[in-house]
């Protein structure tokens, strides 16, 4: 279980669709929970997209206030979640959504909240809950960037086109700098490759010098179910997009587990060093 931030690139939407594909396909044994927090400062794409404007914007990120801290913020957070529904239209209490902002005035108002929200995500029971943070294109930079810098993994969604690689290149450089400055380590950064265009997984990794953690097929009709609320056919959950997203979960779990073990090992070495120094 971990906190995983998803980041997009200019002119190439995909972070929100990837986050929703993971939300729908992530295997959840009994007692496990998955939360998607839509923290894109550019505004919510899920309410008018997947939910087709049929769900009122009376729950979500906009309802959290800077005055709520600690347990008060945690209580407010859980009250603002929307529960997704499964194929039988019964609420699934283990897949939850924190809808994003619907008024750009909230972008400024929420600036003091981002750090508090990051602390909250890190404090959620890691043995039971995984948090996906959709930061869109602007989110990893500026005030909301703290959510990426404190995440266990940061995934940049890129397409295998020249335009996609060019858009990703400067972002990769900036994210590397920020992660290194925060002490998170550049190995927190990975790629989600949407297989559109001529460039292969190996070529994308070589060009950007970042590992591709998971790949998703370029299937616009299936993606439209998540991005725009297009009709969901009976075979959607077994289609190429959702199968690939489910396959990618294993790699994500391995990535975050390895990083967690590395961090814990480093803490233990520091503690042993501190004890030895005290002597």
Q: Could you list the pLDDT tens digit for every one of the 279 residues in the chain?
A: 689 999 999 876 699 999 999 999 999 888 889 999 999 999 999 999 999 998 888 889 988 877 677 888 899 999 999 987 654 444 456 899 999 998 888 888 888 899 999 999 999 987 889 999 999 999 999 999 999 999 999 999 999 999 999 999 999 999 999 999 887 888 999 999 999 999 999 999 999 999 999 999 999 999 999 999 999 988 999 999 999 999 999 999 999 887 766 655 543 444 556 545 443
Q: In the prediction, which pLDDT does 44 show?
A: 93
Q: In the prediction, which pLDDT does 92 show?
A: 57
Q: Where exactly are the structural domains of the chain?
A: 3-278
Question: 235 φ, ψ to 5°?
Answer: -95, 10
Q: In the prediction, which pLDDT does 68 show?
A: 73
Structure tokens at 63: 């309802």
Alpha-helix residue ranges (DSSP H) falling in the chain: 15-25, 70-79, 105-109, 113-123, 146-149, 162-181, 201-208, 220-228, 240-278
User: How would DSSP label each residue in 185-213?
Assistant: -GGGEEEEEEE-SS--HHHHHHHHTS-EE
Strand pairing category for 153-159 and 3-7: parallel
Structure tokens at 131: 């948090």
Residue 108: which of 178, 43, 170 has the closest Cα? 43
Residue 155: which H helix or E strand, with range?
Answer: strand 153-159
Q: In the prediction, which pLDDT does 236 show?
A: 94
End-to-end CA distance of the chain: 37
Residues 259, 86: Cα–Cα separation, whole Å: 32
16: which residues sit within 8 A by CB, 6+ positions away?
A: 6, 8, 38, 40, 45, 46, 49, 134, 136, 226, 227
Residues 18, 22: Cα–Cα separation, whole Å: 6
Strands of the sheet with 212-217, listed across from one edge: 82-85, 91-98, 33-38, 129-134, 3-7, 153-159, 189-195, 212-217
Residues 207, 234: Cα–Cα separation, whole Å: 39
Contact 226, 48 (CB under 8 A): no
SS3 (DSSP) at 164: helix
CB-based burial label for 31 (10 Å; 0-12, 13-18, 19+) = exposed
What architecture does CATH give domain 3-278?
A: 3-Layer(aba) Sandwich (3.40)
Q: In the prediction, which pLDDT does 273 show?
A: 64
């Amino acid at each position: 279980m971990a906190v995983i931030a998803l980041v997009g690139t200019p002119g190439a939407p995909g972070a929100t669709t990837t986050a929703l594909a993971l939300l729908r396909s992530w295997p959840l044994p009994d007692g496990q929970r998955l939360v998607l927090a839509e923290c894109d400062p550019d505004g919510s794409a899920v309410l008018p997209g997947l939910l087709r404007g049929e769900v009122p914007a009376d729950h979500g990120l906009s309802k959290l206030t800077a005055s709520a801290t600690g347990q008060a913020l945690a209580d407010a957070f859980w009250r603002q979640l929307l529960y997704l529904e499964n194929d039988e239209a019964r609420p699934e209490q283990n897949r939850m959504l924190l809808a994003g902002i619907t008024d750009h005035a909230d972008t400024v108002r929420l600036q003091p909240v981002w750090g508090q929200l990051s602390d909250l995500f890190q404090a959620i029971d890691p043995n039971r809950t995984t948090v996906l943070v959709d930061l869109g294109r602007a989110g990893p930079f500026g005030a909301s960037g703290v959510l990426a810098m404190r995440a266990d993994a940061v995934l940049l969604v890129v397409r295998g086109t020249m335009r996609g690689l060019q858009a990703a290149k400067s972002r990769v450089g900036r994210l590397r700098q920020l992660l290194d400055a925060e002490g998170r380590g550049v190995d927190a950064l990975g790629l989600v490759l949407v297989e559109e265009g001529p460039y292969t997984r190996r070529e994308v990794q070589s060009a950007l010098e970042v590992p591709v953690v998971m790949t998703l097929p370029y299937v616009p009709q299936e993606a439209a179910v998540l991005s725009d609320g297009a009709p969901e056919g009976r075979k959607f959950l077994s289609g190429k997009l959702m199968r690939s997203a489910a396959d990618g979960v294993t790699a994500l779990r391995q990535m975050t587990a390895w990083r967690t073990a590395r961090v814990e090992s480093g803490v233990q070495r520091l503690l042993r060093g501190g004890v030895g120094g005290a002597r």
